[in-house]
């Protein structure tokens, strides 16, 4: 796998973003607002990360492998995530939805990345991105806002490649392991996914229900995304 491909992909992607109709004058209805407010606050916070622990782990990887392209690609990936946060924040301000600075779920994921090595950090990231692919499909169905629909489309397009990038990274990090150790790693990853599904549903079920998901179909959709990620 060539990380130079991913560096160039991210650089090119930010020059070819979807057109967002920021000038629309649509205001969320009371129902729409009540459905998404707490949920979009949490997701906006989660997208907004400096990635300093991930970057530190990436620096160690580069010192070991001399693969500077990975480091450069990772920085562009982080910038893309930060763009998601900025765009969501812009939408929220236009709809008078307050930004939040802290949430216990976000703190849990940040602590997991803080005390993890590169492989575990990437595993946590893929888990979040797999669920995000289902979440933004549901969020898009929750309002008639063209801005929010456009943002969801752009984020979904980005997340598709994020999962691919991180999945290929995991494969690169584990390519010299024997099958038993790889199976253990996949079991841990699956367990992380299953635990996260319960937390995310508990926190965001109003958006998922409004988007047409039951708990069962939400879990099935995320598990299917998880299975697809293993093809990369």
By the 10 Å C-beta count (0-12 exposed, 13-18 middle, 19+ buried), 144 is classed as exposed
CA proximity to 139, closest of 10, 28, 13, 21:
28
Domain ranges (residues) in the chain: 3-13+27-229
Contact 139, 40 (CB under 8 A): yes
CA proximity to 67, closest of 169, 160, 142, 166:
169
Alpha-carbon distance 201 to 193, whole Å? 12
Torsion of CA 16, 50, 91, 32, to 10 degrees: 120
pLDDT tens digits for the chain (232 residues)?
Answer: 689 999 999 999 999 999 999 999 999 999 999 999 999 999 999 888 778 888 999 999 999 999 999 999 999 999 999 999 999 999 999 999 999 988 887 777 777 666 678 998 899 999 999 999 999 999 999 999 999 999 999 999 999 999 999 999 999 988 888 888 888 888 999 999 999 999 999 999 999 999 999 999 999 999 999 999 987 6
Which of the listed CATH numbers 3.30.450.40, 1.10.620.20, 3.40.50.880, 3.30.1490.110 matches domain 3-13+27-229? Answer: 1.10.620.20
SS3 170: helix
């Amino acid at each position: 796998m060539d990380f130079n491909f991913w560096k160039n992909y991210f650089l090119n992607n930010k020059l070819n973003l979807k057109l967002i109709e920021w000038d629309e004058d649509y205001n969320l209805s009371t129902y729409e607002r009540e459905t998404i407010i707490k949920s979009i606050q949490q997701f906006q916070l989660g997208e907004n990360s400096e990635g300093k622990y991930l970057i530190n782990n990436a620096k160690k990887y580069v010192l070991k492998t001399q693969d500077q392209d990975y480091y450069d690609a990772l920085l562009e990936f982080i910038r893309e995530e930060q763009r998601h946060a900025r765009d969501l924040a812009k939408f929220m301000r236009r709809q008078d939805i307050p930004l939040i600075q802290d949430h216990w779920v976000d703190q849990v994921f940040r602590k997991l990345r803080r005390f993890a090595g590169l492989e575990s950090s990437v595993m946590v990231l893929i888990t979040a991105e797999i669920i995000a692919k289902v979440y933004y499909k549901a969020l898009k169905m929750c309002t008639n806002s063209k801005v929010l629909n456009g943002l969801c489309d752009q984020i979904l397009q980005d997340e598709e490649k994020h999962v691919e990038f991180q999945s290929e990274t995991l494969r690169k990090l584990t390519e010299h392991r024997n099958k038993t150790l790889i199976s253990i790693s996949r079991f841990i990853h699956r367990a992380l996914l299953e635990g996260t599904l319960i937390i995310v549903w508990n926190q965001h079920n109003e958006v998922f229900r409004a988007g047409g998901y039951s708990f069962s179909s939400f879990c099935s959709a995320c598990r299917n995304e998880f299975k697809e990620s293993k093809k990369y």
